[in-house]
Structure 1
Amino acid sequence: MEAEGLEGRMKAIIGTVRPKLEALGAELAPMLSRLCGEEMTAHVAKHARRSVNPPADTWVAWSSNPRGYKMHPHFQVGIWPTHVFLQFAIIYECPDKTVFAENALRELASVRRAVPDGYVWSKDHMVPEGTPHGRLTDEELSDWLRRLKTVKAAEITCGIHLPPDNPVLKDGEAFLRKAEETFAVLLPLYRMASGT
């Protein structure tokens, strides 16, 4: 997504990237529905509220609500200029963030075991960087979870980052397998968030 300015970037997203995200959304929805044990609907980012700043990233998200994903725990596949991400996310619009925060704090040891060291946590879905699980101490992760519970604007994501030269990105079948594997790893987090 090298296009400049809002109009140029949106034209590139709508013409080139969005159709791929829509296809990916349809392709992965049945797998995620089986994995989660409930109907998961794909939602491709529209960037409708953008009027000045062009989006640096774009994504498809899956949630159990057919009308939207922002107010619910969800899974995402998206692209920044630096990497592709596959992640579980709870963003600030989600009113039930405390459910996940309380469950994850109570089961911190199982969260630590379930998430591989190379997976990346972030407390801001608007920035591309994150902190590898293996570098977060129990106290740091607990602080993030307590913040999620008490700060209205708080959010949390966890998943993997694939750099542009990762061979998985050149092989559609391999990418689908990587997505399924990643979402299966993240399923315990989703279950903690959804109370199932």
Structure 2
Amino acid sequence: MFDKNDFKVFNDDTLSGRLELIKTTLDPKFEVLGEKLLSRLELEYRQKFFLKIAKHQRRTKNPPPDTWLAINQDKKGYKKTPHLEFGLWPDCYFITFSLLADIRNRTSYYPVLKQYQKQIITEGWGVSNDHTTSILKPASEFEAVIDHYEKVKSSDLVVGFELPKTDSKVLTGDYDQFIEDKFMQLSKYLVLFNQAVVE
């Protein structure tokens, strides 16, 4: 399903052109993958999950620099809750677990981050304080990322994985299962954080 041609949507620098390419080539793939992920998540955790595919409706001038699907456990919306994303930047696919700057009950997640800090570092996930960039720092910097998230209210907390478009998996094709499995590996943090902070 996913293949190296996915990244061609970013070759169109116009807003209307890129949105049309995303709508016709990537969104159908997001729909299929999203439903598969929902099934796997609900089977594994016996809980309810909700899917949202980015529509970029607020954009009026510049084309979106990335596009994604998001899954969380609150049907009202995902941005103010812990959530998972799978999507594309021009140079890579990404799978992330995020606590954004304006998440509800933000300070309640600080001790939970400390609780799972060592596990996330050991598992080798990339980390970041900015969900608007594709750059993930190595897991070894997670303590500093947590510290920054606690001190700077405009910062995000991102944990995840990137698959560069130049990676051999992408170049040779047939990596759908790899993407699904990576997403599922990261999904435990969505459930654990939601269990730890009951709104």
User: Fold conserved (TM > 0.5)?
Assistant: yes
Residue of structure 2 aligned with 1:133, choices 132, 139, 142: 139
**Structure 1 Cα separation of the partners of residues 92 and 78 of structure 2:** 22
SS at match of 1:131: coil
Contact 1:125/1:155, CA 8 A, preserved across alignment:
yes
Alignment partner of 1:79 out of 66, 81, 88:
88
Higher mean displacement: 180-189 or 88-97: 180-189
Distance 1:82 1:5 in 2: 18
The TM-score with structure 2 as length reference comes to 0.82
2:47 to 38, 49, 56: 38
Contact 1:87 1:159 in 2 (8 A): yes
For 1:157, the equivalent position in structure 2 comes to 158
Q: 2:53 touches 2:70 (CA, 8 Å); kept in 1?
A: yes
Shift of 1:188: 3.6
| CA distance in structure 2 between the partners assigned to 1:34 and 1:98 by the alignment | 31
Return the offset for 1:78: 0.5
Is 1:111 equivalent to 2:117 in the alignment? yes
TM-score (norm 1): 0.83
Structure 1 counterpart of 2:148, which letter? W
| Contact 2:82-2:193 at 8 Å conserved across structures | no
Instruction: Assess if the C-alpha contact under 8 Å between 1:3 and 1:9 holds in 2.
Output: yes
Structure 2 residues not aligned, in runs of 5+: 1-8
| Percent identity (aligned) | 25
1:4 deviation in Å? 1.2
Helix, strand or coil at the partner of 1:92: coil
Secondary structure (helix, strand or coil) at the match of 1:27 reads: helix
| Equivalent residues of 1:60, 1:77 under 8 A apart | yes
Matched, 1:66 2:67: no
Matched, 1:144 2:148: yes
Instruction: State how far apart, in whole Å, the 1-side matches of 2:72 and 2:190 are.
Output: 14
What runs of 5+ residues in structure 1 fail to find an aligned partner?
Answer: none
Q: How far apart, in 2, do the equivalents of 1:193 and 1:146 lie? A: 18
Cα displacement string for residues 119-144 of structure 1 (whole angstroms, at most 9, x for unaligned residues): 2111111111121113x163x13413
Aligned pair 1:123/2:123, yes or no? no
Determine helix, strand or coil for the equivalent of 1:94.
Answer: coil
Q: CA deviation at 1:114?
A: 3.6
Contact 2:128 2:157 in 1 (8 A): yes
Q: Distance in 2 between matches of 1:129 and 1:182?
A: 18
Name the Cα RMSD after superposition.
Answer: 2.3
Deviations 1:92-133 (A, max 9, x none): 34212222222213x2xx422344464211111111112111
CA distance in 2, matches of 1:145, 1:189: 18
Q: Does residue 188 of structure 2 align to residue 187 of structure 1?
A: yes
Describe the shift of the 1:12–1:65 C-alpha distance in structure 2 as closer, same or farther (beyond 3 A). Answer: same
